[in-house]
């Protein structure tokens, strides 16, 4: 695929937008690369690598500002990593279409809730470390299971669950999510590199745009955005995911 200035610019703005809400850009990168002519495996590997770069860039900026809650993130990463293979196993043994439709409805409802209902956020000091660890393990297991079944990674589920289940402040939830996304993207990318060739001529220049976009997104979120604005942006992401799941259920199965 020819590298264009327009495509690199698109990669930058996608990274900037999604790192502000706790993601790296993979939700948009993969379908975008398929539309532009990438083979399925190359689109997925490029998407995962750029997702990793954007999320890592943002996570570094957030951690310097002490916005990442590692007490939540580390147990969540461990549990989701263990549960993801089980989700893949279940995927092969269930009827996928009704499951995708159900998940699309859940995503739409979650988007509506984030759009219209503000959570009663607690300060970090009010949540005991033991509660964070146990909550992180339970949420991580659920995220790994759902991500493994859907094949989309679990990052998109992290922020709503942290906000509404553990009452985590919106900015902390989004910042911690970028740290979590780094690990799921890395393991997924390594899985592709062991089987498929990677188009480094495109990935490396795009990675530079991702890194800059991640830094810009993190700075804008931490200093300028309010929790309500972040929830609005994330609700848009959830609606996009809802449409993607419905498309997969009705047109690709």
Q: Is the pLDDT of residue 156 over 70?
A: yes
Rounded CA separation 37/41 (Å):
12
pLDDT band at 121 (very low <50, low <70, confident <90, very high): low
Q: Is the pLDDT of residue 176 over 80?
A: yes
Rounded CA separation 83/71 (Å):
19
Pick from 199, 213, 253: which is nearest to 38 by CA?
A: 199
pLDDT band at 179 (very low <50, low <70, confident <90, very high): very high
- Any residues with CB less than 8 A from the CB of 191 and at least 6 apart, and which? none
Backbone angles phi, psi at 120, to 5 degrees: -85, 95
Are 66 and 44 in contact by the 8 Å Cβ rule? The answer is no
197 secondary structure, DSSP code: -
pLDDT band at 110 (very low <50, low <70, confident <90, very high): confident
Q: What is the mean pLDDT of residues 103-128?
A: 76
CA 249 to chain centroid = 21
Question: pLDDT for 2-51, tens place per residue?
Answer: 568 889 999 999 999 989 998 888 778 877 887 787 777 788 788 889 98
Pick from 52, 46, 55, 51: which is nearest to 193 by CA?
A: 46
3-state SS, one letter per residue, for 136-172: HHHHHHHHHHHHHHHCCCCHHHHHHHHHHCCCCCHHH
Q: What is the mean pLDDT of residues 133-159?
A: 80
Pick from 43, 70, 39, 51: which is nearest to 11 by CA?
A: 51
Quote the pLDDT of residue 126.
Answer: 64
Single pTM value for the model: 0.82
Rounded CA separation 217/235 (Å):
17
What is the percent of the chain with per-residue pLDDT over 90, rounded to a whole number? 28
Quote the pLDDT of residue 214.
Answer: 95
């Amino acid at each position: 695929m020819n590298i264009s200035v327009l495509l690199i610019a698109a990669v930058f703005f996608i990274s900037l937008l999604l790192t502000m809400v706790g993601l790296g850009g993979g939700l948009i990168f993969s379908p975008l690369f398929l539309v532009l002519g990438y083979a399925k495996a190359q689109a997925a590997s490029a998407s995962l690598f750029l997702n990793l770069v954007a999320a890592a860039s943002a996570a570094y900026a957030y951690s310097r500002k002490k916005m990442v809650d590692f007490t939540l993130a580390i147990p969540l990463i461990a549990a989701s990593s263990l549960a993801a293979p089980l989700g893949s196993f279940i995927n092969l043994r269930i009827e996928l279409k009704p499951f995708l439709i159900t998940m699309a409805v859940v995503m739409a409802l979650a988007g509506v809730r984030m759009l219209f209902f503000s959570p009663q956020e607690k300060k970090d000091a009010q949540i005991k470390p033991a509660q964070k660890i146990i909550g992180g393990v339970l949420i991580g297991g659920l995220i790994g299971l759902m991500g493994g079944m859907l094949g989309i990674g679990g990052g998109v589920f992290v922020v709503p669950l942290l906000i509404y289940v553990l009452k985590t402040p919106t900015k902390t939830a989004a910042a911690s999510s970028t740290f979590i996304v780094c690990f799921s993207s890395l393991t997924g990318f390594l899985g592709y590199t062991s089987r498929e060739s990677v188009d480094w001529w495109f990935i490396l220049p795009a990675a530079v745009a991702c890194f800059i976009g991640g830094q810009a997104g993190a700075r804008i979120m931490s200093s300028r955005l309010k929790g309500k604005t972040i929830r609005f942006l994330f609700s848009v992401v959830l609606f996009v995911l809802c449409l993607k799941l419905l498309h997969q259920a009705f047109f690709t199965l």
